[in-house]
A and B are shown apart, each in its own frame.
Chain A
Amino acid sequence: MSQYVITIGLETHVQLKTATKMFCGCSLAFGEEPNTNVCPVCLGYPGALPVMNREAIRLTVLSGLMLGCEINRHSTFDRKNYFYPDMSKDYQISQNTHPLCLGGSVTIGTPEGPKRIRINHIHLEEDAAKINHYARFSGVDFNRCGTPLMEIVSEPDLSSPEEAMAYLQALKQILVYAGVSDCNLEEGNMRSDVNISVRPAGQEKLGTKVEIKNMNTFKGIHAALEYEIARQLAVVKSGGTLVQETRRWDPELGETQSMRGKENAHDYRYFPEPDLVPVELSDELIESWRAQLPEAPAARRERMMAEYGIPAYDAGVLADVKENADFFEAAARACKPGLGKTVSNWFMTEVMRLLSETGKGVGACALTPAALAELVTLVDEGVINGPTAKELLSDVFAKGGSPRAIVDERGLAQVSDVSALEAFIVQVFAENAKSVADFRAGKKAAAGFLVGQVMKLSKGKADPKLAGRLVAERLAEGQ
């Protein structure tokens, strides 16, 4: 495969998190009955006119700033003319000559180190309606028609399906951090058109480009890319020629298929949209929006490492999902200094396990950052032991509440009083003479058994470290 160079570019469509559509005041609430969020504008009725959603402009500019783009001070809209039943006007209002953002990049990790994937531009356009296919006919639902869509076009800098995945993951993370989109793939928030070509190593000219449109799952994109690369290489190696075309990914059959009967070069007849006047963005406005930019994921990782004394690995895991990072920071700040790593451990092992088991996001569970902080503090103060804390966390995760209050209510405080522990130990030694004898005979593991019995007798509340020490001392004294 190193005889051939693989070139991949992605055009990613991201639905913006506005309250209303791009050009009209229809709601974007998801999951509504068909054709309920509609009006003359998004239905393309005679006489309807588009009016620009200011928030969509702001979110697109924010995305551009987060991705290191140049913001076009003078931006215009164009009509992209083609006929399809999901198009209520049979032209799409898009941007062709003066898109909002130019350039920019996303840095991904590869086995060879970080790689910069360049962005060509970002433009704003409106989404189409949804066509539902039935056995003998099709039905159109215009709820989605007119949703603000930000199109991010990469340069063909990607060289493998893994790099494409990494690019999309990084892009998604940045956009979620920016608050511009939920990037929820199930809801169709993020779809990509994928362009792939192959050429012999050393050849300058790019190979024949094939496009696979409208991929909306990461798994699907990866599988489609792998298949298509293999297909193209097979054709090229056997001396055949590839057709420049658009193909469709069939997830059932696991293959890409030629879309027969389609003219592949659309004549879109772009011309400036006469109903929408140009957007002129001043330096002041862009700077005021830049000041509102949330922290990018990379910057956040760095800061968390510095502020909470956690290693890169922890920062990476925590910052992967923005709401997790938010939770972690709130909890860590509610603890005394120096407990950052401890909070991180608790979050990464216990909380994330519970999240994964219940399939919830951390915002949807009953555990609050304050509660986690309380729990960590209780352990740190020696009030409860590790095992008790784990159980308590599960409880609070499901039902909420204050750990400190629950500890008091249920008397979960661990027993650290030496005389109380000695009483338990005396009883355990009396009831487990054989183990004591085993220890004397050289079986050192018996000490652990004895400590376990102390824990059991104390109903798990004994301070395990202290119990261990006292048992060891008593055994050493030879009693």
Chain B
Amino acid sequence: MSQKIDVAYVAELARLSLTPEENNTFQQQLETIVRYVEKIGELNLDGVEPTMHGQPVVNVFREDAVVPSVGRECFLANAPERNGDEIRLPKIVEDA
């Protein structure tokens, strides 16, 4: 299972810009860690259901009733840059 981890690709997916030193350090450390975690591959997991949640419950809902907003100032105040009541960003070329 062990193969070279493409740290640069993964870092790009995670939107983390790494220095070349970080890239190298993480490369080695991650490969060590991944080699360790691969031990789960030793087990026979035929017929074992995965655990997707902390406890086995189902059907938790909320009713479709409006909860009035507390107001936007406390949120907009946290925005690094504002354009009036919008959050301001550098110009985006339409990118899906």
A window 253-286: CB within 8 A of B: 259, 261-262, 267, 269, 272, 274, 276-280
B36 at interface, CB cutoff 8 A: no
Q: Which of A49-57, A374-382, A396-404, A405-413 contacts B (4 or more CB under 8 A)?
A: A49-57
CB distance from B80 to the nearest CB of A (A): 12
Docked-complex contact B62 and A53, CB < 8 angstroms: yes
Tell me the chain B residues, 12-65 only, with Cβ under 8 Å from chain A: 13, 15, 52-54, 57-65
Cα-based distance from A1 to B83 in the complex (angstroms): 51
Can you name the residue of chain A whose Cβ is closest to the Cβ of B68? A27
Q: How far is the CB of A97 from chain B (nearest CB, A)?
A: 10
Q: A26, B67: Cβ atoms under 8 Å?
A: yes
**A-side binding surface: helix, strand, loop or mixed?**
loop
Interface contact B61-A57, CB-CB below 8 Å: yes
- Report which of B60, B69, B84, B88 forms a contact with A36, defined as CB distance below 8 A: B69
Give the residues in chain A near B62, CB-CB below 8 Å: 25, 51-54
Residues 413-457 of A, flagged 1 when their CB comes within 8 A of B and 0 if not, give: 000000000000000000000000000000000000000000000
- Check B67 against A133 for contact (C-beta < 8 Å): no
Would A39 and B89 be within 8 Å (CB), given that A52-B62, A267-B13, A274-B52 are in contact? no
Q: How far is B15's CA from A34's CA once the two chains are assembled, in angstroms?
A: 28
User: Across the interface, which residues of A come within 8 angstroms of B54, CB to CB?
Assistant: 274
Query: Judging by beta carbons under 8 Å apart, are B85 and A34 in contact?
Result: yes
Are A24 and B67 interface neighbours, CB within 8 A? yes
Determine the distance from Cα of A134 to Cα of B57 in the docked complex, in whole angstroms. 47
Inter-subunit contact B96/A246 (CB<8 Å):
yes
Known: A262-B95, A277-B53. A137 touches B65 (CB 8 A): no
Q: Is B70 an interface residue (CB 8 A)?
A: yes
Closest CB of chain A to B48's CB: distance in Å?
16
Residues of B with Cβ closer than 8 Å to A?
Answer: 13, 15, 52-54, 57-70, 72, 75-76, 83-92, 94-96
Question: Would you list the 5 A-B pairs with minimal beta carbon distance, nearest first?
Answer: A25-B67, A139-B86, A55-B64, A54-B61, A272-B52
Please list the residues of chain A having a beta carbon within 8 angstroms of any beta carbon in chain B: 18-20, 24-27, 33-39, 43, 45, 51-57, 76, 83-85, 131-134, 136-142, 213-214, 246, 248, 259, 261-262, 267, 269, 272, 274, 276-280
CB<8 Å pairs between A and B, sample of 11? A34-B85, A35-B85, A36-B85, A137-B89, A138-B89, A139-B84, A274-B52, A274-B53, A274-B54, A277-B60, A278-B52
